[in-house]
Amino acid sequence: MATLIRTTGDWDVAEEATSGAFERAAATWPRDGVPSNPGAWLTTAARNLALDRLRRRAVESGKVREWMSEEALAGRIGGPPDPAEIAAAHQELEWDDRLRLIFTCAHPALTIESRVALTLRTVGGLETSEIARAFFVAESTMAQRIVRAKRKIQHAGIPYRVPLPEALPARIDGVLAVLYLIANEGYVASSGDRLQRVDLALEAISLVRLVVDLLPDTAEPRSLLALMLMQHARAGSRVDADGELVPLEEQDRDRWDRALITEGLALLDPIPAVDRGPYRVQAEIQAVHVRAEAAEATDWAAIVHRYDELMAITEGASPFVELARAIAIGMATDADAGLAALAALESSARLSGYHLLPASQADFLRRSGRAEPAAARYREAIALAPTAPERRFLERRLAEVERSAAPRPDPGTPG
């Protein structure tokens, strides 16, 4: 599809032709057998469909521009194609076409919401309905967002290429921000009945790998990849067989993916202090967790230190970072220190409506044996929890503290 966009300059035609080629494959492959080179078959089929579509449109409307695209396209498919050659070209194109697409989709002239949506739709190949669900908006809203973004790419002349070297550093941050958002949504879904969306996390990892390949010596893409790999390494242990949430300290650390952890840690080679960006610091926080052999062995003081650094290097400290830091303080010191840090954050009202604030307060109250106030905070958190697994986890905790708070049943009472 990336190749078609470049050839036709028309995102809709390219998309339609690509899905048309897959439909055709679904109809003919079961009957005629799978061709020896399915990738090349699909590319050729999609090109022919795009050509048909442009021809039809040009005839219908007599528009000049589409005739021109058609000429360009016709020139490309002239001559008998050598499947081996196409496959070789296709392999190569795939890498840089995807990379080009990332830079186009994550262009700063688009809104951040559009960039995320368009990257997932076009580079990641997700359906509009899936993206809409992932970001908790109506499908029609998401469809409109994608249409507007595609229209802007065409109207405003957003180029379909990797920026020139001198412009690259300024553009890379924006690309990483989009990929970070996708990974975050994969790590903790903002809605729905699943805690995590492994598909989004994997997509983000594969996309950030492309950026690392492009800029192998730049610190932040490497750090972001390390962060994603170490987060994803725990994916299998964060939910149990029934899809229920398992908190960090109860996770079976033997089930963490050691290969991903090793790769992630290897990306965190020593770098000069000036190159330490927010992804590096967050990756190091993950590294502290994955290095701990048991939950009790976690070096929480090191984590607090990293959160301090993160707040210092990011302008306008995010309340989510402050929340994580408050939790780390409580884990490093004691529950009261954690509750004090959370109280300060609560009074700022910047996280009102966010379930993890009362959930964290409830957790420290539970740990220090204050069952009744803990239960009150759990109820608050349950009302705000965005995903079903988180809600059920909090309900289980609530039941636990309610049992410990309830007066011992009178042995004389029947029942």
Partner 1 sequence: MEYALFYAEGDEPIAYVPAQDDIGDWVDDLGRRGASEYGERLRPDHDATTVRVRDGRLLVTDGPFTESKESIGGFDIIDVADLDEAIEIASRHPAAAFGRVEVRPFMRWPDADPAARVVPADFLERTASGRRYLMLVVAESSERRAVIGDDGGSEAATAEDAAAAAAAPAEAAASDDPDAWVTEMDARGTRLFGEVLHGPDDATFVSRRQGELLVSDGPFAESKEWIAGFDLLEVRDLAEAIEVASKHPMASGGILELRPLWPFDVHDDHTARARREADERGVRLEPPAAEALDAAIGAAL
Q: Which residues bind partner 1 (CB under 8 A)?
A: 61-66, 68, 107-111, 114, 128-129, 139-140, 143-144, 146-148, 151-152, 155-159, 163-164, 167, 170
The least distance separating partner 1 from the CB of residue 153, rounded to whole angstroms, comes to 9
> Is the Cβ of residue 133 or residue 148 nearer to partner 1 in the bound state?
148
Q: Are 2 and 101 in contact (CB under 8 A)?
A: yes
List all residues 6 or more positions away from 80 whose beta carbon is below 8 Å from its beta carbon. none
CB of 131 to partner 1, least distance (A): 11
Nearest to partner 1 of 126, 283 (CB atom): 126
Closest approach of partner 1 to the CB of residue 127, in Å: 10
What DSSP designation does 249 have? G
Q: What are phi and psi of 314, to 5 degrees?
A: -100, 130
Closer of 75 and 159 to partner 1 (Cβ) = 159
CB–CB of 90/108 below 8 Å?
no
Contact 360/337 with Cβ under 8 angstroms? no
C-alpha 249/C-alpha 345 separation (Å) is 24
Nearer to partner 1, 66 or 322 (CB): 66
What token pair was written down for 238?
């964060």
What are the backbone angles phi and psi of residue 65, rounded to the nearest 5°? -65, -40
Smallest gap from Cβ 128 to partner 1, in A, equals 6
Bridge partners, 239 (sequence order): 245
C-beta of 20: minimal distance to partner 1 in Å? 12
Closer to partner 1 by CB, 149 or 288: give it: 149
3-state secondary structure of 318: coil
CB of 23 to partner 1, least distance (A): 13
Nearest to partner 1 of 115, 397 (CB atom): 115
The 8-class DSSP code of residue 82 comes to: -
- Tell which residue, 320, 255, 323, 316, has the closest CA to residue 290: 255
Report, in Å, the least distance between residue 159 CB and partner 1.
4
CB-nearer residue toward partner 1: 127 or 275: 127
Within 268-334, where are the H helices? 278-291, 300-313, 319-332
**Residue 313 CB, nearest distance to partner 1 (Å)?**
16
Nearer to partner 1 by Cβ, of 106 and 382: the residue is: 106
Are the C-beta atoms of residues 23 and 46 closer than 8 Å to each other?
no
Q: Which residue, 164 or 241, has its beta carbon nearer to partner 1?
A: 164
Torsion on CA atoms 105, 109, 114, 118, rounded to nearest 10: -10
Closest CA to 223 of 261, 255, 267, 185: 267
Give me the residues paired with residue 189 across strands: none
Q: How far apart are CA 110 and CA 107, in angstroms?
A: 6
* Residue 156 CB coordination number (10 Å): 10
CB of 12 to partner 1, least distance (A): 8
Comparing CA positions, the residue from 167, 187, 175, 179 lying closest to residue 234 is 187
CB of 274 to partner 1, least distance (A): 16
CA atoms of 24 and 413, how far apart (whole Å): 73
Residue whose CB is less far from partner 1, 156 or 399: 156
